[in-house]
């Protein structure tokens, strides 16, 4: 483990970019870098290797930005194989709105999204199985777990093996408990501590990456509670709802954003139960948060 700083050049490039309002972070979790070892255990990063992919979100609105739509892109992590979205059956109650939002973010980056429904021990009414069926039918892998009762943990562990995996979950779903039961020898709560101690001028620590065995990495994101996907245009959103695809090209207008245009094939598919109302509502919900004057 080396503690590295960035060469001055990167900081300069970064401020240039910052003026153009394109990106937020220089080196991010998951990056492969070259560095010179200056003192023992300490290095200076000389090159960031091109990213195969990355997931980002809209950063907080800048104070004093001129136009309403000006938002920076904040890269959360790069070079990912999978994103695990953790939800719980209860406490907090399962809802598909945030889940679909993260799925959209993952789809738009071309990263495999998988779903974990935790706290199955509290699920007296078997909601977990219904939602499992729902998302399995769409084509997503769903795991049902209980971190406290040790249910489903081994299956998740097998699926993580040999990959770079990012975990995302809203507060209280049991993400830390899950990670700790998956890898008892690691303490994932350290994420919160490093966030405070590493905070520097240009750094927002949003997560921590742990090597859990030779080829398996886990990125925990305790600093990320909401994901507002970055860089998606209204007319492209439908592509990230994978079950919409067969209908998209049958709309009357090729500029259709499937909201309330006449002759919309998506709306028709919803009416005919070929697309679920839950997913269509998620779609409308995200659509409403995409600003018209967004500058990319
Ligand atoms: P995080 O905010 O997502 O990291 O959630 P935590 O891991 O801190 O867990 C939040 C609360 O849920 C804690 O009180 C845990 O003990 C509890 N919890 C976590 N997993 C389970 C589970 O599978 N079943 C039950 N009943 N409680 C759980
Ligand atoms: Zn349409």
**Domain segments of the chain as ranges:** 1-231, 234-289
Ligand closest to the CA atom of residue 189: 1
Place of tokens 């136009």: 67
Ligand 1 pocket test, pick from 87, 149, 172, 222 with the greatest ligand atom count within 8 Å of Cβ, gives 172
Alpha helices in the chain (DSSP H): 8-20, 96-109, 127-138, 153-160, 175-182, 190-198, 245-248, 265-271, 277-289
CA-nearest residue, atom 20 of ligand 1: 174
**Model pLDDT, residue 73:** 78
| Residues facing residue 86 across a β-bridge | 116, 169
Residue 56 pLDDT level (bands cut at 50, 70, 90): confident
Class of domain 1-231: alpha beta
Per-residue pLDDT tens digits for 178-230: 999 999 988 776 444 344 444 443 444 568 899 999 999 999 987 777 788 88
Ligand 1 pocket test, pick from 90, 177, 180, 181 with the greatest ligand atom count within 8 Å of Cβ, gives 177
CA-nearest residue, atom 25 of ligand 1: 119
* Token couple for 55: 């997931």
Ligand closest to the CA atom of residue 268: 2
For CA atoms 238, 243, 244, 246, give the dihedral sign: positive
How far, in Å, from the CA of 4 to the mean position of ligand 1? 34
Residue 243 pLDDT level (bands cut at 50, 70, 90): very high
Q: 168 with 219: CB under 8 angstroms? A: no
CA dihedral 108, 85, 153, 173 (to 10 degrees): 180
* CA atoms within a 13 Å half-sphere pointing along the CA-CB vector of 256: 21
CA-nearest residue, atom 22 of ligand 1: 119
SS3 103: helix
Q: How confident is the prediction for the chain on average, in pLDDT? A: 86
CATH annotation of 234-289: 1.10.40.50
Per-residue pLDDT tens digits for 77-116: 999 999 999 999 999 999 999 999 999 999 999 999 999 9
| CA nearest neighbour of 78 among 119, 116, 113, 109 | 109
**Ligand 1 pocket, residues with Cβ under 6 angstroms:** 118-119, 121-122, 146-148, 169, 171-177
**Model pLDDT, residue 158:** 98
Ligand closest to the CA atom of residue 269: 2
Per-residue pLDDT tens digits for 254-292: 999 999 899 999 999 999 999 999 999 999 999 998 876
pTM of the model: 0.89
């Amino acid at each position: 483990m080396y503690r590295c700083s960035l060469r001055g050049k990167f900081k300069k490039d970064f401020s240039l970019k910052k003026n153009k309002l394109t990106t937020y972070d220089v080196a991010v979790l998951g990056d492969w870098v070259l560095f010179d070892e200056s003192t023992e255990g300490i290095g200076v990063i000389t090159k960031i290797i091109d990213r195969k992919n990355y997931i980002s979100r809209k950063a907080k609105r800048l104070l004093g930005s001129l136009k309403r739509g000006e938002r920076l892109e904040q890269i959360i992590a790069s070079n990912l194989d999978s994103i695990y979205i953790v939800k719980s059956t209860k406490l907090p109650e399962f809802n598909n709105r945030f889940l679909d939002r993260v799925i959209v973010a993952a789809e738009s980056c071309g990263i495999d999204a998988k779903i974990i429904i935790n706290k199955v021990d509290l699920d007296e009414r078997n909601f977990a199985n219904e939602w499992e069926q729902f998302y399995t039918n769409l084509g997503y892998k769903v795991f049902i777990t209980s971190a406290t009762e040790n249910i489903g943990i081994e299956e998740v562990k097998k699926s993580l093996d040999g990959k770079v995996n990012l975990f995302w979950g809203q507060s209280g779903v049991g993400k830390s408990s899950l990670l700790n039961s998956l890898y008892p020898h690691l303490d994932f709560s350290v994420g919160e501590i490093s966030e405070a101690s590493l905070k520097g001028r240009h750094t927002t620590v949003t997560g921590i990456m742990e090597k859990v065995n030779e080829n398996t990495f886990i990125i925990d994101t305790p600093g990320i509670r909401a994901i507002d996907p970055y860089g998606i245009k209204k007319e492209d959103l439908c592509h990230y709802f994978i079950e919409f695809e067969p209908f998209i090209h049958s709309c009357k207008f090729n500029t259709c954003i499937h909201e309330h245009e006449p002759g919309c094939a998506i709306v028709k598919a919803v009416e005919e139960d070929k697309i679920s109302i839950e997913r269509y509502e998620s779609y409308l919900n995200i659509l409403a948060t995409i600003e018209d004057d967004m500058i990319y």
